[in-house]
Structure 1
Amino acid sequence: MVIDNATLLIGIAFSSASLLVALLIGWLNARSETYLVLGAIGMAMVVFAVMLLGLGNGAYGYAQHLVPYTMILIGFSFVYAGARRFRDMATSYRPPIIVGTVSVIAIAIPFLMGLTGLGTALLNLLAAVILVLCAVEHWRSKDHPHLALNANAILYCITALSFLACAAVLLAEGRWVITEPPKNWAEDFNSIMSLVGLTGIGALTLTLHYARAAHRHHTEANTDSLTGVLNRRALFDRFGATRQPSSIAVLMFDLDHFKQVNDRFGHAQGDRVLERFADVLRQELRTSDVASRIGGEEFCVVLIDIDQETAQAIAERIRQAFADLAVAIDDKGLIATVSIGLAIPATDEDFSALLNRADAALYQAKNGGRNQVRLATLRLVA
């Protein structure tokens, strides 16, 4: 099979340029997603490097190849930085900077010594290493969907393998000095994988970006922006249309004297109190339990797979943990506390009825002196 290398270079450049434009468009719509612009910069450097290689007219040496090879390694280092930022937006830029700097120095030394074959082998070897590092970042990511993440990691690895094959052939042949571009099966494999790999990686990266954006919008629509727990709509979407099993429990919370906090210290302090109570819920609840803010200073928790005794113990722990924070309300020593109503489902009881009973128990707790847990009666008395 005869492969026109010039045509493949044009294809690689066009594919990279298309990916560059798509990544930039994605970044313009989501400026906080820095991994997109890092990937775009990396692809831009690859495009320019391939263009420079295409202008070489078959000549091979320091002047024609060190600059584009340097650009390829730096470009891949930017892609690596983008992969790290995709996994964790707070991750450091130091590893990609170190990898890029070491790689450029490593290929520059043999090229400056006239060992163009060794320099080319090192280019391919280091490019393979950087692409494997990108694959590891995608493999480690806890984002969704996992299938696309794993497919991207596999594409990175196969593309890395094509670069590794080029290095292996040159080293096996002992070609420390070359005067023309290598022509062998490994170079053909690398050219094809660079074209297919870049296109596939770009498509999957954009797919992951839009999947992440859709997931974020869904989460924002169902989450209370202040406290980070679910909002009322999300709670009813999850539980409102079904009969409730007897193995759950509903807790209704109302922060005592909360109006006085807002009146005396302002709404900013009131918001901090709400945030601290949400933190208490996260600390005391199990991962299977569901917490939500119903509105104002009212919260609701659904305890999953639990009995009445354990539910009462959890409610008491939450009450005590919030009281222990000792959030002062005034200069007379009044402390913010929480009143709690607890309801266990009756036979074939729907969520709204269960919530009403928990709410009635909550107001019994408030009318009975606050800062206490009350268990709802089996039937709500009008």
Structure 2
Amino acid sequence: MAIDNASLLIAIASSSAALMAALLIGWQNSRDEKYLGLGAAGIGLIVISITIMSLRSGAYDFTIQFVPFFLLISGISLIYAGSRQFRIPDGSYRVPAFTWAAAVVMLAIPFVAGYSGIGTIVLNCIGAIYMMLCAWENWRGRQEAPIALVANAVLYTAVASSFVAAAAVLVIDGRAVLDAPPDNWAEHFNLIMSLVGLTGIGAITLTLHHARAAGRHRHEANTDSLTGVLNRRALFAQFPEDSIVPDLVVAMFDLDHFKQINDRRGHAAGDIVLQSFARVLRAETRGADFAARLGGEEFCVVFPGLDREAAYAISERIRAAFAAKAIPTGHENGVATVSVGVASGGDGETFTSLLSRADAALYKAKRDGRNQVQLAALRLVA
């Protein structure tokens, strides 16, 4: 039995309404994920558009033609804006706003002039362009989740091809004015692909949202909330206390006279000093290094794959860069500085032992006048 357009429209509206509800729930639980709100709003407009088209009961005047098409294009433009926001969370809305305004003008001109056939062709062309723009956004962001985002790009491209087919059949038909909605194989193909595409894209988008949320929670659990470097828990998860680390090099950092900074300038000023030092750590260490805040004003950096001389050089660079910031402390020394101890692992040495030796070198730097880097002696093997 053949499926008519009305049945397909009802199926699309029902599927879209369920997807809109799922996106709204996701957005309510995570308001920072603007792409979910944009997607839900876009699908809401599409549901209204499809509902109007499914209830037109044979009427096909200007209002019945243009209003649902306007809502449809507006909804698709919001989905495009959501695709951009997914890839660039802080991105501007100027491009989506400009494309929407251009699309509405291009759609309105033929309908206002009375050429509903040409207007419907333009609608399908605009739909195809928007779908390809969404596909491009997903393709460009594929590094985050290659399989899921490439799958989304393929689905958007497939829906775009169905819009192209619908436009092509109307062009071949050659009628500038339509007195009834188009009813041909290309329209059916477009509706079916829209149903499949919306369902698939929505499911993938929700999966990506949950993956992002899980990743964000992992990051928050492993990150010091004040400074943005790893916390103590994350460091010891990466390097268990009893793990053997014969080739590892670590540096322990302790901000000089930090208690006086808090006492004389206040804890808010102390927090700013900690954040400033963390920025220096991130700027001066390598991507392979592990920088962590162990607590208070004490930090640690693990240097995989470096010898102690190279680690000493980086630590000295960090010390000098922090001192060069010339952050006032209220202490007689004037500016915030840091003392550092560097130690390299010996045969059979545990991570805890290595940290203890680096800590001993750090306190030697404190005793010898602060604002300096001290190397721990090599561990003697019994």
- Conserved? CA contact 1:144–1:208, under 8 Å: no
Give how far 1:342 is off: 0.5
* CA distance 1:142–1:276, shift in 2 (3 Å): farther
Distance 1:353 1:245 in 2: 11
Distance 1:48 1:182 in 2: 19
Aligned 1:287-298 pairs, distance under 5 A: 287-298=287-298
**Which residue pairs with 1:84 in the alignment?**
84
Distance 2:219 2:322 in 1: 27
Structure 2 counterpart of 1:147, one-letter code: I
* CA distance 1:244–1:56, shift in 2 (3 Å): same
* TM-score, normalised relative to structure 2: 0.95
**Which residue pairs with 1:353 in the alignment?**
353
1:151 equivalent to 2:155? Answer no
Structure 2 counterpart of 1:38, one-letter code: L
Distance 2:233 2:331 in 1: 38
Structure 2 counterpart of 1:258, one-letter code: F
Aligned 1:72-151 pairs, distance under 5 A: 72-141=72-141, 144-151=144-151
Give how far 1:103 is off: 0.8
* CA distance 1:212–1:163, shift in 2 (3 Å): same
**Which residue pairs with 2:233 in the alignment?**
233
Give how far 1:143 is off: 6.5
Give how far 1:140 is off: 2.1
* CA distance 1:273–1:142, shift in 2 (3 Å): farther
**Which residue pairs with 1:242 in the alignment?**
243
Q: Work out the number of aligned pairs and report it.
A: 380
Structure 2 counterpart of 1:120, one-letter code: T
SS at match of 2:251: strand
* CA distance 1:373–1:142, shift in 2 (3 Å): farther
- Conserved? CA contact 1:356–1:380, under 8 Å: no
Give how far 1:380 is off: 8.7
**Which residue pairs with 1:35 in the alignment?**
35
* CA distance 1:311–1:81, shift in 2 (3 Å): same
What RMSD over aligned residues (CA atoms) do the two structures have, in Å?
Answer: 1.7
Distance 1:312 1:220 in 2: 30
Aligned 1:1-382 pairs, distance under 5 A: 2-141=2-141, 144-240=144-240, 242-246=243-247, 248-330=248-330, 332-379=332-379
Distance 1:267 1:331 in 2: 15
Give how far 1:333 is off: 4.8
Give how far 1:312 is off: 1.2
Distance 1:333 1:341 in 2: 21
Give how far 1:142 is off: 6.1
Give how far 1:98 is off: 1.1
Task: Provide the identity percentage.
Answer: 57
Give how far 1:31 is off: 1.7
Structure 2 counterpart of 1:69, one-letter code: F
Deviations 1:349-368 (A, max 9, x none): 22111111111111111111
* TM-score, normalised relative to structure 1: 0.95
Q: Which portions of structure 1, spanning 4 or more consecutive aligned residues, are displaced by more than 6 angstroms?
A: none
5+ long unaligned stretches in structure 1: none
- Conserved? CA contact 2:261–2:331, under 8 Å: no
Give how far 1:172 is off: 3.1
